[in-house]
Structure 1
Amino acid sequence: MKKLFAIILFALPFFLNAQENNTALWEQANNHYTAEEYQQAISAYEQILTNGQESAKLYFNLGNAYYKAGDVNNAILNYERAQKLAPQDEDIAFNLQIANQFVVTKIEELPKPFFLRWKTSVINKYPTDTWAAISVGAFILFLLLLGLFLFSKNSTAKRFAFWFGILAVVFSGFTFSWAAHQKAVINKHDQAIVFCPRVTVKSSPAETGTDLFLIYEGVKVDITDRLDSWREIRLADGNKGWLPDSCIVTI
Structure 2
Amino acid sequence: MKKIVALLLIVAPFFMMAQKNNQQLWEKANAYFTTEEYQEAVSIYESIVASGEESAKLYFNLGNAYYKNGDVNNAILNYERAKVLAPHDEDIEFNLNIANQYVVTKIDELPQPFFLRWRTSVVNKYPADTWAFISIGTFIIFLILVGLFVFSRIASVKRISFWIGILAIVSSGFSFSMAAQQKAKINKRNHAIVFCPRVTVKSSPTETGTDLFLMYEGVKVEITDSLNTWKEIKLADGNKGWCPDSCIVKI
TM tier, smaller = over 0.9
Amino acid of the structure 2 residue aligned with 1:215:
M
Deviation at 1:22, TM superposition (A): 0.1
Match of 1:134 in 2: 134
Quote the Cα distance in structure 2 between the aligned partners of 1:31 and 1:128. Answer: 31
Deviation at 1:119, TM superposition (A): 1.1
After superposition, what is the alpha-carbon deviation per residue over 1:53-77, rounded to whole angstroms, capped at 9, x for unaligned? Answer: 1100000000000000000000000
Matches within 5 A, 1:168-183: 168-183=168-183
TM-score under structure 2 normalisation? 0.99
Deviation at 1:50, TM superposition (A): 1.0
Amino acid of the structure 2 residue aligned with 1:86:
A
Match of 2:31 in 1: 31
Match of 1:13 in 2: 13
Matches within 5 A, 1:138-153: 138-153=138-153
Paired residue total: 251
Deviation at 1:189, TM superposition (A): 2.0
Matches within 5 A, 1:188-227: 188-227=188-227
Match of 1:161 in 2: 161
Quote the Cα distance in structure 2 between the aligned partners of 1:12 and 1:162. Answer: 46
Percentage of identical aligned residues: 72
After superposition, what is the alpha-carbon deviation per residue over 1:93-138, rounded to whole angstroms, capped at 9, x for unaligned? Answer: 0000000000000000000111111111111111111110110010
SS at match of 1:49: helix
Quote the Cα distance in structure 1 between the aligned partners of 2:19 and 2:147. Answer: 44
After superposition, what is the alpha-carbon deviation per residue over 1:131-160, rounded to whole angstroms, capped at 9, x for unaligned? Answer: 101100100110111111111111111110
**Superposition CA RMSD, Å:** 0.5
Gaps of 5+ in 2: none
SS at match of 2:231: strand
SS at match of 2:149: helix
Quote the Cα distance in structure 1 between the aligned partners of 2:194 and 2:65. Answer: 19
Amino acid of the structure 2 residue aligned with 1:12:
A
Gaps of 5+ in 1: none
Moved over 6 A (4+): none
152-161 vs 205-214, which moves further: 152-161
TM-score under structure 1 normalisation? 0.99
Deviation at 1:177, TM superposition (A): 0.6
After superposition, what is the alpha-carbon deviation per residue over 1:75-98, rounded to whole angstroms, capped at 9, x for unaligned? Answer: 000000000000000000000000
After superposition, what is the alpha-carbon deviation per residue over 1:171-211, rounded to whole angstroms, capped at 9, x for unaligned? Answer: 10000010011000001121000000000000000000000
SS at match of 1:163: helix
